Chain A
């Protein structure tokens, strides 16, 4: 149960890719940071909602997963560089033969995981190829 409060705190960043932006040095952060490492005490941090458009930097395809994710295999985990700069890890929903480095992706709202049959359902952002998506 200890993961529930952690998930709850992360809802804005998981549902809507809310990170931060330092208006002093124009650097974007995801996950959000409270302190800008460039500017330290002079930082001017504000919340920033990322559009979620990005590019696949690298990826791996998972063929063997734990019970909770077995039904979804094979699936693609990728490092995605957002338009604004930050990189994050996310699932790209397409066949393993379709994914490639440099692929443009956009965000979708999906189930990230479930705590068994009785626990909480974790929702959040995954990605789909821009090409061929509605």
Chain B
């Protein structure tokens, strides 16, 4: 029995800081934005965290398909910025959307790919007929240490997907995952900012895992890049997804609708799932979407997705990704630092 996406929703905070403003403060070269292909990034409000933005994204998903929240049997929330070390994000999200309490929930962590791992877990329960609907969330309000390269990209955003068997907006035809023990990026318990292996980690981390998962899925599905109308690759910056798409034989046109990182930054667990949402915002029934996430540590989940007729009914009933590019408010570095509570230099 086919299973897949019944509805989806996103949320991106309204504040932005421009890369050139960060470069100005740290005396960096002004072409930093060009080099990263990230021109501005989202910044959460004082009272926003991974929980509040997950709630807003989930409320949009529930609204988009007029879902009765009592049907949800599982909530899996992927994030690397869960506000509590112990006390699940999913419990708060569930209460905020009015779920029935007959429900399983857990928070997932796998750097930037915990959200797609949550999609897989929901898909398993739904396909086995153990639950009616599963809620998979990718949400992050990530931080880079002041002056670190990550500060140009670490942003905030969330995406929520309702996974089920009926009234599909898009069918998930198959997935393939590739996982190894690769220390390319990490954060120890209690530390405010992550550490990374520097520039060289792109090759053994992002590129090796995304290409392995992509090639694995294409082989499993017996498909080629040309079989897909769109492709979405994890977007830690604006360079990597463009380069990996080229290496794998996907065109610039295929990735364009889902390439949102130049305007919002790297939303970590939200990143590839917001890219997918931006693609669902424009895709037509029958079209196919290739999706590959990446999480440092490291792993990649690749999905083959076919858009269903149901997309037309629900698409316009909640805000689209590009709606969040409008009415943004720009911050200077001083106000931005206040927003982020950046006192530990």
Contact = CB atoms under 8 A, between A and B. Distances in A.
Contacts of A12: 95
A110 B13 CA distance: 12
Interface in B90-121: 92, 95-96, 98
Contacts, number: 48
A14 to B, nearest CB: 10
A108 B96 contact: no
A110 B338 contact: no
Nearest to B49: A111
Nearest to A72: B46
B179 interface: no
A7 interface: no
B249 interface: no
B173 interface: no
A111 B52 contact: yes
A133 B324 CA distance: 9
A15 B95 contact: yes
A134 interface: yes
Contact of B84 (A11, A71, A109, A121): A121
A21 interface: no
A111 B48 contact: yes
Given A121-B83, A123-B52, A109 B319 contact: no
A126 interface: yes
A111 B47 contact: yes
A131 to B, nearest CB: 10
A62 B308 CA distance: 50
B15 to A, nearest CB: 11
Interface string A100-121: 0000000011111000000001
Contact of A71 (B48, B49, B83, B341): B341
A16 B341 contact: no
A132 interface: yes
Contact of B98 (A16, A108, A110, A126): A16
A4 to B, nearest CB: 12
B51 interface: yes
Contact of A108 (B56, B92, B326): B56
Interface string B31-52: 0000000000000011111011
Contacts of B52: 108-111, 123
Interface of B: 14, 45-49, 51-52, 55-56, 59, 83-84, 92, 95-96, 98, 319, 323-324, 326-327, 338, 341
Interface of A: 11-12, 15-16, 49, 71-72, 93, 108-112, 121, 123, 126, 132-134
